[in-house]
C-alpha cells in the first residue's frame, strides 16, 4: 500500500490525477488517499482479475475524488460467475478477488453522466463510511454480484438513483445505517434482474423526487420485462418526502405471469413511511408478502395501493395524517383492486379521505375476492369506513368504525356496491352516518349481528 502522492497525484482539486491514481492501483492494489481533492477525467479501474485484491482507503473523510468525466469514478471488476454457495466458487475468487473494501472518502460528480462506484461480478464488496454526491448513480451494480454490504454511508443528491440494481443477478445484499436522500429518481432502485435476499435496515431514505420520466420514490423496485423481486426485508427505515412529490415512498411493480410471481417473499416491517403522493404501491405481488407494524402517514392520494396482488398480510399498522397536519384536509386511504386472498387485520386508520360521495372509503376493495378486513379501528373516515365494489367472498368483521369529529360527513360505516356477491358483514361496531350503518343490497352479501350506534 502506498500513498497516491507517491505516484505523482497532487490532490489539489485542479490537476488531472487520473493516471497517477491508476498507477497507484495497478502497482499496489490498495489506493490510499491522503487529505486532498483528487480530480479525475476517466474511471479508475480496480480489476481484481489482473491485479488481485484491491481497495481504496481515505483519510477519515478528508479525501475526495472529483469525477469530471462520464462513467464511474471507481469501477471494480471481478470474475465470479457462481452463486453464494461455496461449491460454486472458483479458487481464483478466494485467492485474488474477494472482499474489495472502500472506506473513508468522498466521491463528487462533476459531469452529467458521472457515477460513483460500479460493481461488476464482485464478491463481498464492502462500502462503508463513504460520501457519494451529485453523481448520476451513487452505487451501480451490474451483471452479477454476490454479498455486497453498503453501510454507514451518505449517498446524496444523485441525478438518478442512489443505489441502482441494474438488471443484475444479485443475492445476499445488506444496506444498513445509511443516509440516502435528495436523489431525483430513487434512493434505492431495482430495474429487472434476478435479485434475492436483500436487507434494507436502519436507513434514512428521504426526499427522493423530481424525476419526470418514470417512477420515483424512496425505494423503487420494478421488473416489467424480466427477473424477480424476492426475499426483500425493509425494516426500521424512515421513508419520507413531501406531500406534493409525485410517485410513492415505496414502489414494487411486477408483471403478470401465468404460474408464478415476479414479486414474492417480502417483509415491510417497523418503518416510518409517508409525506408523499402515495406511500406504498404494489402491483403483481404474490406469495408471502407482509406489511406489518409500520407508521404510514400523509399519503396525499393513497396510503396503500395494491393492484393484482395475492396473499398480502397488512397487519398492525397505523395509517393516518401527520400530527402537525391536524385540522387540515385529511388525506389517503387503503385501496385494493383486483386482489385475492389478502388480509387487513388489527390496523388503526384515522381520518382517511379516499373516495367521494358516490364511492370509496378509508378501505376500498374493488374487484377483489377472498379479502378479509377484521379487527381494525377506523376512526373518522371522511366518506365511508369500508367500501366494497364488485367483489366476492370478502369478509368485513369485528371492526370498530366511529366518527370523532363534529362536522361529520361520513355516509355510512360499510357499503357493499356494484356487482358484488357472497360477502359477509358481521360483528362490527359502527356509528351510523348520514345514510345509516351498513348499506348492502340483497344479493351482495349477508349482514349479521352488527351494532349500529347513533
Is the pLDDT confidence value at 326 over 50? Answer: no
Residue 184 forms part of a structural domain: yes
Bridge partners for 431 per DSSP = 453
Do 123 and 166 belong together in one domain? no
Q: What is the overall mean pLDDT for the chain?
A: 94
List pLDDT tens digits, range 264-308: 999 999 999 999 999 999 999 988 999 999 999 999 999 999 999
- Of the chain, the percentage scoring pLDDT greater than 90 comes to 86
pLDDT on residue 89: 82
Residues 132 and 179 in one domain: no
* CA atoms of 267 and 278, how far apart (whole Å): 19
Q: Does residue 36 sit in the same domain as residue 140?
A: yes
Taking 50 as the threshold, does the pLDDT of residue 175 lie above it? yes
Yes or no: say if 352 and 386 are a contact pair by the CB < 8 Å rule: no
In sequence order, the 6+-apart residues with CB closer than 8 A to the CB of 267 are 232, 233, 234, 235, 290, 292
Asked if residue 256 is part of any domain, the answer here is yes
| Within-domain flag for 223 | yes
Q: Give the model's pLDDT for residue 322.
A: 64
Last residue of a domain, one of 144, 173, 203: 144
pLDDT at 194 over 50: yes
Q: Are residues 135 and 5 in the same domain?
A: yes
How many other C-beta atoms are found inside a 10 Å radius of the C-beta of residue 381? 32
Dump pLDDT digits (tens) for 143-156.
999 999 999 999 99
Output the nine-digit C-alpha cell for 155: 449517498
90 and 168 co-located in one domain:
no
Of the listed ranges 35-49, 114-128, 147-161, 398-412, the least confidently predicted one is 398-412
Range of the domain at 375: 333-454
List the one residue out of 53, 49, 44 whose CA is nearest residue 19: 44
φ, ψ at 410 (rounded to 5°) = -65, 130
What's the confidence (pLDDT) of residue 328? Answer: 52
pLDDT at 245 over 70: yes
Q: How far apart are CA 352 and CA 379, in angstroms?
A: 8
pLDDT at 325 over 70: no
pLDDT of 94 above 90: no
- Output the nine-digit C-alpha cell for 244: 406534493
208 plus 124 within the same structural domain: no
Cα 275 from Cα 280, distance rounded (Å): 11
4 and 132 part of one domain: yes
Is pLDDT of 87 > 90? no
Residues 118 and 171 in one domain: no
User: Which cell numbers hold the place of 278?
Assistant: 402515495
Q: What percent of the chain has pLDDT over 70?
A: 97
Q: Which of 121-135, 156-170, 328-342 has the lowest mean pLDDT?
A: 328-342
138 and 165 together in one domain: no
Is 451 a member of any domain? yes
Average pLDDT of the residues in 208-214 = 90
How many domains, in total, are found in the chain?
3
Residue 212 pLDDT:
86
Region 383-390 average pLDDT: 97
The mean pLDDT of 375-387, rounded to a whole number, is 96
341 and 452 fall within a common domain: yes
Does 8 map to a domain? yes
Residue 327 in any domain: the answer is: no
Please determine, for residue 311, whether its predicted confidence score (pLDDT) is greater than 60.
yes
d(CA 276, CA 332): 10
Q: Is the pTM of this model over 0.75?
A: yes
SS (H, E, C) the chain: CEEHHHHCCCCEEEEECHHHHHHHHHHHCEEECCCEEEEECCCEEEEHHHHCCCEEECCCCCEEEEECCCEEEEEEECCCCCCCCHHHCCHHHHHHHCCCEEECEEEEECCCCEEEEEEECCECCEEECCEEECCCEEEEEEEEEECCEEECCEEECCCCEEEEEEEEEEEEEEEECCEEECCCCEEEEEECCEEEEEEEECCEEECCCCCCCCCCEEEEEECCCCCEEEEEEEECCEEECCCCCCCEEEEEECCCCCCCCCEEEEEEECCEEEEEEEEEEEECECCCEEEECCEEEEEEEEEEEEECCECEEEECCEEECCHHHCCCCCCCCEEEECCECCEEECCEEECCCCCCCCCCCCEEEECCECCEEECCEEECCCCEEEEEECCECCEEECCEEECCCCCCCCCEEEEEECCCECEEEECCEEECECCECEEECCCCEEEECCEEEC
Cell of 333: 386511504
Q: What is the pLDDT of residue 407?
A: 72
Measured distance CA(337)–CA(389) in Å, rounded: 10
Residue 302 lies in a domain: no
Instruction: Indicate if the pLDDT at residue 2 is higher than 80.
Output: no
Written as nine digits, the cell of 125 is: 464488496
At residue 93, the pLDDT reads 84
Whole-number pLDDT of residue 323:
57
Domain membership flag for residue 304: no
Chain segment 402-441, per-residue pLDDT in tens: 998 877 678 999 999 999 999 999 999 999 998 999 999 9
276, three cell numbers: 408523499
* Residue 170 sits in the same domain as residue 110: no
Same-domain check for residues 129 and 208: no
Amino acid at each position: 500500500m502506498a500513498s497516491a502522492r507517491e505516484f505523482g497525484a497532487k490532490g489539489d482539486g485542479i490537476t488531472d490525477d487520473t493516471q497517477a491514481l491508476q498507477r497507484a492501483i495497478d502497482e499496489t492494489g490498495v489506493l490510499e488517499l491522503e487529505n486532498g481533492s483528487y480530480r479525475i477525467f476517466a474511471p479508475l479501474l480496480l480489476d481484481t482479475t489482473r491485479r488481485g485484491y484491491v481497495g481504496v482507503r481515505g483519510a477519515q473523510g478528508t479525501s475526495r475524488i472529483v469525477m469530471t468525466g462520464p462513467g464511474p469514478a471507481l469501477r471494480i471488476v471481478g470474475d465470479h460467475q457462481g452463486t453464494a454457495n461455496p461449491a460454486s466458487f472458483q479458487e481464483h475468487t478466494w485467492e485474488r478477488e474477494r472482499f474489495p473494501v472502500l472506506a473513508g472518502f468522498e466521491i463528487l460528480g462533476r459531469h452529467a453522466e458521472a457515477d460513483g462506484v460500479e460493481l461488476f461480478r464482485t464478491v463481498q464488496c464492502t462500502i462503508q463510511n463513504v460520501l457519494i454526491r451529485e453523481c448520476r448513480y451513487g452505487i451501480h451494480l451490474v451483471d452479477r454480484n454476490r454479498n455486497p454490504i453498503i453501510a454507514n454511508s451518505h449517498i446524496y443528491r444523485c441525478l438518478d438513483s442512489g443505489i441502482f440494481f441494474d438488471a443484475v443477478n444479485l443475492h445476499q445484499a445488506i444496506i444498513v445505517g445509511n443516509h440516502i436522500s435528495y436523489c431525483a429518481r430513487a434512493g434505492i432502485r431495482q430495474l429487472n434482474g434476478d435479485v434475492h435476499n436483500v436487507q434494507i435496515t436502519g436507513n434514512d431514505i428521504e426526499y427522493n423526487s423530481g424525476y419526470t420520466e418514470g417512477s420515483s420514490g424512496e425505494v423503487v423496485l420494478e421488473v416489467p420485462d424480466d427477473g424477480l423481486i424476492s426475499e426483500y426485508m425493509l425494516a426500521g427505515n424512515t421513508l419520507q418526502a413531501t406531500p406534493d412529490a409525485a410517485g410513492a415512498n415505496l414502489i414494487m411493480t411486477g408483471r403478470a405471469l401465468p404460474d408464478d410471481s415476479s414479486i414474492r417473499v417480502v417483509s415491510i416491517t417497523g418503518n416510518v413511511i409517508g409525506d408523499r403522493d402515495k406511500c406504498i404501491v404494489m402491483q403483481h405481488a404474490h406469495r408471502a408478502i407482509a406489511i406489518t407494524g409500520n407508521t404510514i402517514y400523509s399519503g396525499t392520494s393513497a396510503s396503500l395501493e395494491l393492484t393484482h396482488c395475492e396473499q398480502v398480510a397488512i397487519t398492525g399498522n397505523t395509517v393516518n395524517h401527520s400530527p402537525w397536519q391536524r385540522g387540515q384536509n385529511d388525506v389517503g386511504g387503503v385501496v385494493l383492486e383486483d386482489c385475492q386472498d389478502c388480509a387487513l387485520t388489527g390496523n388503526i386508520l384515522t381520518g382517511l379521505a379516499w373516495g367521494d360521495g358516490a364511492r370509496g372509503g378509508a378501505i376500498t376493495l374493488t374487484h377483489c375476492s377472498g379479502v378479509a378486513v377484521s379487527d381494525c379501528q377506523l376512526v373518522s373516515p371522511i366518506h365511508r369506513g369500508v367500501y366494497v365494489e364488485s367483489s366476492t367472498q370478502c369478509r368485513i368483521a369485528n371492526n370498530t368504525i366511529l366518527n370523532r369529529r363534529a362536522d361529520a360527513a361520513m355516509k355510512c360505516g360499510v357499503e357493499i356496491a356494484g356487482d358484488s356477491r357472497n360477502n359477509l358483514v358481521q360483528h362490527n361496531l359502527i356509528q351510523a352516518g348520514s345514510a345509516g350503518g351498513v348499506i348492502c343490497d340483497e344479493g351482495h352479501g349477508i349482514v349479521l349481528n352488527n351494532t349500529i350506534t347513533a
